[in-house]
């Protein structure tokens, strides 16, 4: 898979950039729709979840990657389930600025992790594992990118937990209502 990491990086960045411009232009041209507002978070979640699963699959089960990846995956599924359960009342769970920052942090972290594995392959001449520490930190560009990616994924996981708690807190009054 010599070029798979580079292909994944380009594909992921392309999808993230088009996602940003899609929302930005929809707001700028006043072309926002309920369908788009519903579909955009689903597309974001799908993109992040698939990329995290790919990176985690190649990580050799690195605990420094598995824990934040698990937190991110759990939150994304939890919030989606919460929105589904609330049905028409899910409008109270509007996407917040912090949630947008969370998505941005996730996408940047994933891109940097893909970059780290791509660089590691070029340096080692073999398929790397995401988060692999086979070279001392700071001795290669791949190691620096991987360490930066791991740090960023932890930041993204922290934002993920905070925004998940925020959505749960907002939904709690409805969840406490008698059936």
pLDDT category of residue 132 using cuts at 50, 70 and 90: low
Using an 8 Å Cβ cutoff, are 130 and 146 in contact? yes
Residue 177 burial (CB count, 10 A): 7
pLDDT class of 95 with cuts at 50, 70, 90: confident
pLDDT at 127: 56
Higher pLDDT, 11 or 93: 11
pLDDT at 174 over 70: yes
Residue 179 belongs to a domain: no
The Cα 68–Cα 160 span in angstroms is 9
Mean pLDDT of 25-49: 89
Tell me, yes or no, whether 13 lies in a domain. Answer: yes
Q: Domain for residue 177, yes or no?
A: no
Q: Burial, 118: exposed, middle or buried (Cβ in 10 Å; 0-12, 13-18, 19+)?
A: buried
Domain extent, residue 111, equals 4-172
Q: Specify if 75 maps to a domain.
A: yes
Q: Is residue 74 part of a domain?
A: yes
pLDDT above 60: residue 56: yes
Tell me if 63 is assigned to some domain: yes
Which pair of tokens denotes residue 82? 């919460």
Banded model confidence at residue 110, pLDDT cuts 50, 70, 90:
very high
In a domain, 178, yes or no: no
Mean pLDDT of the chain: 88
Lowest-confidence pick of 63-72, 93-102, 147-156, 157-166 = 93-102
Structural domain count of the chain? 1
Instruction: Classify residue 165 by burial, with Cβ atoms within 10 Å: 0-12, 13-18, 19+.
Output: exposed
């Amino acid at each position: 898979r010599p070029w798979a990491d580079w292909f994944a990086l380009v594909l992921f960045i392309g999808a993230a950039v088009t996602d940003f411009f899609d929302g930005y232009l929809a707001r700028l041209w006043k072309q926002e729709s309920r369908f788009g507002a519903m579909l955009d978070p689903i597309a974001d979640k799908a993109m992040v979840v698939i990329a995290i699963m790919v990176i985690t699959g190649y990580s050799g089960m690195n605990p420094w990657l598995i824990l934040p990846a698990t937190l991110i995956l759990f939150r994304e599924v939890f919030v989606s389930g919460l929105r589904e359960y609330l049905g028409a009342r899910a409008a109270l769970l509007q996407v917040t600025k912090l949630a947008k920052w969370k998505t941005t942090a996730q996408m940047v972290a994933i891109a940097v992790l893909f970059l780290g594995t791509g660089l590691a392959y070029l340096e080692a001449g073999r398929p790397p594992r995401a988060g692999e520490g086979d070279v001392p930190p700071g001795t290669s560009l791949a190691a620096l990118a991987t360490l930066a990616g791991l740090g960023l994924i932890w930041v993204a996981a922290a934002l993920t937990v905070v925004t998940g708690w925020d959505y749960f807190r907002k939904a709690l009054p409805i969840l406490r209502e008698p059936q």
